[in-house]
Amino acid sequence: MPESAPDGGLLRAEHPPGRETWVGEDIQRALTRLDALNREVQHVEETLRVQRDEVARLAESVSLVDGRTQRHEAGQESGREMRQEIAALEERLLQEVSLRRDLSAQVERASQRDSESERELRRVLEVIASRLDQFDGREAASAERQRTIVQEIAADDTVDEHVDARLERLERQLAAERESSRHQGTEIARLAASLSTFLTNLEAIESRARTTLLDQRRLDDEVSALRSVRDREAELLEVVEQQRATRARLEDRVSRAEEALEEIRLALAAESEERALLTRLLAGESEQRRTLSERIEAQRDAVVDHFRRIVRSEEESRRREIEEIERDIRVARGLMVRLFEQSDEAEQEQPL
């Protein structure tokens, strides 16, 4: 047991007093540096994510500006097409105005022909009416003469010779009146036929006049529409100017966006370089950490070997101590046996 104290002191003396503290401090510093590097990497990744969002937002703005530019170009194309259409409409308007003048002249000529036809119709109707009046007067005169003849025949029944002569004269007069009436009826029939033909021509002329008036109204509507389109040309030109100003503003914004994108590209390049530097630093830290781990592992193996040697030496010393104690116990037992034997012999030798 007295030898255990030196062995215990030797065991305590075998431990280096500051080695474990130095290793722990190196590990703590390495872990702290790794945490700081991880935080820097997270900060860089967050910055890159924000910049990616900004780039995506700028890309959307650029795509929106491109869409507006395309719409603006389409609007300019439609403006050119509208100007071409306006020129075509103006040419058509001139043609329509010329056609309208021609139609107006035709309408005037048709109106003159209608007025002349109406005057001719009035004249013919007046002639027919006068002839009908004459025919009615002649018919009345014939009837009156026939009544007079009948009265004369009734009054002159006694005078046969005069009656026969007068009857012959009256028959001749009646035959002449009938012939005249027949001629007048033929002329009236001819005038009625010419009147029906004239009425047919008049209806055709009226139909043509109505068609001409409808065409004139349609031309007036088309001319009004063309004038409204021509009046809208100023508005279209103003819209085109507004589109040009909008395109200039958009081009300015696109140029500013391109400059911002270039700055972002440069910033991303710088960030990429920083990230590569951080990657190299992380690789160096990883290498240092690996070297430190190897050193720690080697030190751990050395400490374990040292402790194993200490344990083996302590076991050997304890075994030697146990052997000595057992040897002492055996010696003590032998001595005790001898003492017991001597005491027994002494008791036997004492007299009773």
Residues 116-163 pLDDT 10s = 766 776 776 677 667 667 766 766 776 676 677 666 666 655 555 665
Give φ, ψ of 351 to 5 degrees.
Answer: -75, 155
How many CB atoms sit inside 10 A of residue 238's CB? 10
The phi, psi pair for 149, rounded to 5°, reads -65, -45
pLDDT score at 346: 76
Q: For position 280, what pLDDT does the model report?
A: 86
* Residues 39, 45: Cα–Cα separation, whole Å: 10
Per DSSP, the three-state class of 22 is: helix
What's the Cα-to-Cα distance from 198 to each of 106, 107, 113, 202, 203, rounded to whole Å?
20, 19, 12, 6, 9
- Reported confidence tier of residue 11, pLDDT bands at 50, 70, 90: very low
Where is average pLDDT lowest: 19-23, 79-83, 166-170, 185-189? 19-23
Q: How confident is the model at residue 256 (pLDDT cuts 50, 70, 90)?
A: confident
What torsion, rounded to 10 degrees, do the Cα atoms 88, 89, 93, 94 define? -20
Grouping H, G, I as helix, E, B as strand and the rest as coil, residue 44 is helix
Of 83, 71, 61, nearest in space to 247 by CA:
71
pLDDT tens string 314-347: 888 888 888 988 888 888 888 888 888 887 777 7
**73-81 — which CB contacts under 8 Å span 24+ positions?**
75/239, 75/240, 75/243, 76/240, 76/243, 79/236, 79/239, 79/240, 79/243
Give the pLDDT confidence of 218-245 residue by residue, as tens digits. Answer: 777 777 776 666 666 667 677 778 878 8
More confident residue, 279 or 73: 279
Q: Is 60 exposed, middle or buried (0-12, 13-18, 19+ CB in 10 A)?
A: exposed
Residue type at position 299: Q
Range 164-191 average pLDDT: 69
Structural domains in the chain plus CATH codes: 19-336 (1.10.287)
Residue 263 has pLDDT above 70, yes or no: yes
Per-residue pLDDT tens over the stretch 31-90: 676 667 667 667 766 766 776 676 667 667 666 666 666 665 666 676 677 667 667 766
Q: What is the pLDDT of residues 281-290, one digit of tens each?
A: 888 888 888 8
Report DSSP letters for 243-302, one per residue: HHHHHHHHHHHHHHHHHHHHHHHHHHHHHHHHHHHHHHHHHHHHHHHHHHHHHHHHHHHH
Label residue 6 by pLDDT band (50, 70, 90). Answer: very low
Q: CA 345 from chain center: how many Å?
A: 131
